[in-house]
Amino acid sequence: MAIYTLPELPYDYAALEPVINPQIVELHHDKHHAAYVKGANDTLEQLEEAREKDAWGSINGLEKNLAFHLSGHILHSIYWHNMASPKDGSGGGEPTAADGVGDLADAITESFGSFAKFKAQLTKAAATTQGSGWGVLAYEPVSGRLIVEQVYDHQGNVGQGSVPVLVFDAWEHAFYLQYKNQKVDFIDAMWAVVNWQDVAKRYAEAKDRTPLITP
């Protein structure tokens, strides 16, 4: 029985135009994200089989696959909701108190000095990923601050316990059909689809959780 399921997109394939074209959104969700969901479920089955047979020859590969596919599923599930249409005013801009996301705006200023400095850091982290990866804004529960992470694949280079609240997919499958090799142009364009209401909701929920450890 499948433990993980592919969530539906919160909009149609064309909703993110002109920043991301419909063909990319369709392939990215229906094929790539779906493959991570299947990979996570398949790996859990293989681990169950290993426990039943007490056969641990593949344990290293299985644990690596679990981290990869599960993290891919989680990051993509956040990614779709982190974005909104750039055409109707629901995506893009900056978080402000006037839009009801003042807590997030304040946290960004406290953690990075200013919105502009934060934007520069996340843009740079996402655009300079080596191979495949993500640029991530995460809530770090020990300090209670926001940090930027440059994630390798889906699961590497991550601080344990940090909670992703805004994720930029920098894998080639996220942009190549439209932006070719211009990853910097794609990441620059991504700011026009950021759904700050969703980011603020994730930030508030992450902050409300029980602290991971005593600071």
Binding site for Mn ion (CB under 5 A): 169, 171
Cβ 165 to Mn ion shortest distance, Å: 18
Tell me which residue has its CB nearest to Mn ion.
169
Q: Residue 75 Cβ, how far from Mn ion at the closest point, in Å?
A: 8
Q: In whole angstroms, give the CA distance from residue 30 to residue 38.
A: 12
User: CB-wise, 140 or 169, nearer to Mn ion?
Assistant: 169
Chain centroid to Cα 172, Å, comes to: 15
CB of 28 to Mn ion, least distance (A): 6
> Measured between alpha carbons, how far is residue 90 from residues 30, 51, 196 in Å?
24, 48, 8
- Characterize the bridge pairing of strands 163-169 and 145-152: unpaired
114 burial via Cβ count (<10 Å: 0-12, 13-18, 19+): exposed
In the complex, least distance from residue 169 CB atom to Mn ion, rounded to whole angstroms: 4
Residue 28 counted as an annotated binding residue: yes
* Nearest CB to Mn ion, comparing residues 28 and 202: 28
* SS3 of the chain: helix, strand, coil, percent, to 5: 55, 10, 35
CB of 177 to Mn ion, least distance (A): 13
Q: Under 8 Å CB-to-CB from 21, ≥6 apart: which residues?
A: 177, 178
> Is position 32 annotated in a ligand binding site?
no
Find out whether 108 and 115 touch, Cβ atoms under 8 Å.
yes
Does 12 count as an annotated binding residue?
no
Q: Is 76 annotated as a binding residue?
A: yes
Spatial CA neighbour of 76 closest among 44, 30, 42: 30
Closer to Mn ion by Cβ: residue 80 or 203: 80
- Other CB atoms within 10 Å distance of the CB of residue 160: 9
Annotated binding site: 28, 76, 169, 173
Annotated binding site for Mn(2+): 28, 76, 169, 173
